[in-house]
Amino acid sequence: MNSVAVEKPSRPPKRTAPARRQPKKSEVTRARILDAAAHIFYHKGYALTRLSDIAKRARTQTSSIYYYFESREAIVAEVLRIANEKTSAFVLGAIAEMPPDTKVRDKIKAAIRGHFEIVLSGDQYTSAHMRIFDQIPPKLREHFLRVLDENAGVWRQLFAEAKATGEIREDLDLSVVRLLLLGMMNWSIEWYKPGRMTPEQIADQAAILLFEGIGKPWDETR
């Protein structure tokens, strides 16, 4: 029997990762200014922060800042924008890691874990947001209140789904539940000290408080 030569399938060409674009010098400087601003805003507050403080930490001239930002308000607006994007990314990322068939209650626990993870990470942008939000000009504050309300949409949806599936009591106002939870999580930045418990462990405690409370059922305490 004559042998037939079988042509081997050619291997697909190896894919190489696209080369990462080197950031421009102006982009590096702008990022350095924002990093410096977040640090100064957190440690000194909004009112006491001067452009000269930011410039000194960013290792640039005060006059050079105006090449990137028209005012101190423009800087703080960008700091707050980044902080909100980071928080949203952590929360949504934690939810996305859960399997598709995850119960809503467990998705809420994941969201709590993601929120605590960024709030207690020591991230300067998030820390600055917590510190200065009540100090910024009214018009800027109104804008970011709307941003916060938009970002809270994921919590509204989770709680609404949990109530619809019977995983949350019918007699609770979901707006109150959401605001109490977010307030508790955001305030943790004021008292948290690394060491005794991790952010994940604190998130577990918060989830227990949310779904189980701290007291025994009334009939067990009488």
Segments making up each domain of the chain, as ranges: 72-215
Percent of all residues in the chain with a pLDDT value above 70, rounded to a whole number: 87
Retrieve residue 96's tokens.
Answer: 């996305």
Output the average pLDDT for the chain: 88
CB contact at 8 A, 35 and 27:
no
Question: What is the architecture of the domain spanning 72-215?
Answer: Orthogonal Bundle (1.10)
Question: What confidence tens digit (pLDDT) does each residue in 70-120 have?
Answer: 999 999 999 999 999 999 999 999 999 999 899 999 999 999 999 999 999
Confidence grade of residue 196 (pLDDT, cut at 50, 70, 90): confident
Question: What is d(CA 133, CA 140) in angstroms, rounded to the nearest whole number?
Answer: 9
Provide the pLDDT for residue 222. 54
Q: How many residues does the chain have?
A: 222
Alpha helix positions (H), the chain: 25-48, 51-58, 62-65, 72-96, 104-119, 124-132, 138-151, 153-164, 174-191, 199-212, 218-221
